[in-house]
Amino acid sequence: MFSFRTRIFCSVLAVALLSIGIAVFYGKSWLENSQLQAARERLLHETRLAGVILDKLGPDPAHLTELARILDLPGDRLSLLDSAGNVLGDTAAGAQPVSRLDNHADRPEVREAMHGGTGFSIRPSGTLELPLAYAVTRLDDGRLLRLAVPLDNLKRLIESRLAVFSQIGLITVALSLLLAVLLSGALRRSLSQMIGVVEAISLGNFQRRLRRIPGSEFAPLADAVNRMAENIEEHVRAAAEQTAQLESILDTMSDGVLVLGPRGHIRRCNRALAREFPEAATAQGAQVVEIIPSPELQTAVDEVLAAPAPGSEAAPDGGPGDENGRVQRHLQLTLPSGQVMSVCLSRPAGPDCHLGGVIVFHDITELMRLERVRRDFVANVSHELRTPLTAIQGYAETLISLDTLPECRRFGEIILKNGTYLTRMVGDLLSLARLEGKSGSLELTPEDPREALAQAKSMCREDLERRKLQLDVDIPEECRVMANLPHLTQVFRNLLENACRYAPEGGNIRVSAHPAGREVVFRVVDDGPGIPTADLERVFERFYQVERHRGQASTGLGLAICKHIVERHGGRIRAESPAQDGSTAFVFTLTRVEGGDRPDENPDGAASA
């Protein structure tokens, strides 16, 4: 590849040479034609002049020599022909006698003169065997006078003219060469200056500018280079400020942060993480498991990085993620040192994102210790309260059975009612403490949910009959779920008791199951007064009640127990109020046993069951 200067130089020179070549070629043709035309006119004129002089000298052919001397034509040839084309006389040196010469009536210049009075042609001479230019004129007496001139003279004239053209061409080539050198040099200097500025910018010197514009044709390019340098400088400054802000935020965070690349390699970490795992500060490019020896964490990282984005065709229903397209996963990590970390793995959304993922470590060791203390305290207190509560209930029943004053009987009934309430609360607290105290998932087996519902119905039969409520069940016979039967029975019992308290007397309670993908969605619906929207998320908290809206009080632990059991089964539970039909519904999901009822085409059908 040639340089830009060489290409400019060669291009200008080639154009100049091509233009000069074309001019010389056509100029030569024009010069030859013009010289031949001038020679024709000159020879015809001389022939006519010679004819006039010959008429003055007389008709004798011998006067041709005298005519040649008068006209000073020593190298030219004069021929005198009769009207029939026979040669009467010839002045050519070394020519044959006229008696032996052929008839010239067939010569082109002679034929032309016989018909038009004058004739001209250029051809080789049959007598002298030389290329000659012939001019013929017809005399007054009908004879023909022919003048023949050698072409050498004409060629020398043309060559002299062409020499002038050649000199002009050489001067033009030299000027073109000089112009090409000057133009290519100016372009090289202009481009060299721009290249120097661009190279300086590429090396980080963003203050360089093209201050002196080398030529008006380069002004737009110079302005573009200056704007590019300004924009790059601004972007670099903004990136540096953002990096500094990010560094400051990460280093002041109390939670550990680990940034990963697309392949799961460590890119950086903050100071909080380096304090917990000192090897992370110098482990760039390593895998997570190399600094945090937890196969569970490494498996979660691999799953999050490999998971398709939520909403894509490859993403399964219910996969980890949010509405912004981020893929997230939470897990609890217990280290060999005894520390407990709450870990959040997140993969940013967007196809152009070059960040693999972010892991946030939150130390919940103290929180778990306090939770364990609270749980043990609740269990111990609940256990210790059972004996005195049993005694209180026993004495209250004894007071009621005695023949005493009506006031004493009423006081005994109040004591028994509240003792029963406290006993039930203590039982719920013990159940909840047992659920919270067990780690891992429950032992699940394929179960028929209708059997668990039947057991729960028998436990709530008294409440159903007392409020004259009808229980409508819509669960397919072939429906099977992975569950623990006693715990699933407790979920149905708590939800039925909740519905019995708030459904209108004489109304219906509806329990249905609807397959949705790999899950079965259960709905327990009543026509009670409903739950305010602001309280929907809080109804599953311990002791939280919406008494002013739903009219009756309870221990406030039933829904919290349901939530713990369902989540231990790997499902989800939520409240809908109002539902699509205006009722109040509690919806929970359990894992469907393969081979049961065929999945519904609409995974979202749970909301319309």
The identity of residue 292, as a single letter, is: I
**Tens digits of residue pLDDT in 385-408:** 777 878 887 878 887 887 777 888
Q: Assign domain 445-608 to its CATH superfamily.
A: Histidine kinase-like ATPase, C-terminal domain (3.30.565.10)
pLDDT of the residue at 417: 80
Cβ atoms of 146 and 110 within 8 Å: the answer is yes
Alpha-carbon distance of 368 to 341, in angstroms, equals 10
User: What Rg, from alpha-carbon coordinates, does the chain have?
Assistant: 59
pLDDT of the residue at 549: 42
Q: Which of 163-172, 482-491, 567-576 has the lowest mean pLDDT?
A: 163-172
User: Per-residue pLDDT for 589 more than 90?
Assistant: yes
Alpha-carbon distance of 560 to 494, in angstroms, equals 10
DSSP characters over 104-137: -TTSHHHHHHHHHSEEEEEEE-TTT-SEEEEEEE
pLDDT of the residue at 512: 92
Q: Using pLDDT thresholds of 50, 70 and 90, give the confidence band for residue 84.
A: confident
Alpha-carbon distance of 393 to 422, in angstroms, equals 10
pLDDT of the residue at 454: 92
User: Per-residue pLDDT for 366 more than 70?
Assistant: yes
Structure tokens at 336: 């060999």
Cβ atoms of 253 and 272 within 8 Å: the answer is yes
Q: Using pLDDT thresholds of 50, 70 and 90, give the confidence band for residue 524.
A: very high
Q: Assign domain 4-157 to its CATH superfamily.
A: PAS domain (3.30.450.20)
**Tens digits of residue pLDDT in 16-27:** 778 777 877 777
User: Per-residue pLDDT for 588 more than 90?
Assistant: yes
Q: Domain coordinates of the chain in residue numbers?
A: 4-157, 204-249, 262-326+333-340, 369-437, 445-608
Between 442 and 183, residue with greater pLDDT: 183
Spacing of C-alpha 272 from chain mean position: 36
Alpha-carbon distance of 339 to 108, in angstroms, equals 125
- Predicted TM-score (pTM) of this structure: 0.46
DSSP 467: T
Q: Which residues neighbour 235 within 8 Å (Cβ) at sequence distance 6 or greater?
A: none
The identity of residue 432, as a single letter, is: L
Coil/strand/helix, residue 332: strand
Alpha-carbon distance of 609 to 336, in angstroms, equals 47
Q: What is the arithmetic mean of pLDDT over 206-211?
A: 73
**Tens digits of residue pLDDT in 7-50:** 777 777 787 778 777 877 777 777 777 777 777 788 888 888 88
Average pLDDT over the chain, rounded to an integer: 78
pLDDT of the residue at 442: 65
CATH topology of domain 369-437: Helix Hairpins (1.10.287)
Backbone φ and ψ for 123, nearest 5 degrees, come out as -160, 165
User: Per-residue pLDDT for 552 more than 50?
Assistant: no
Question: What percent of the chain has a predicted confidence (pLDDT) above 70?
Answer: 82
Most confident of 6-10, 67-71, 372-376, 448-452: 448-452
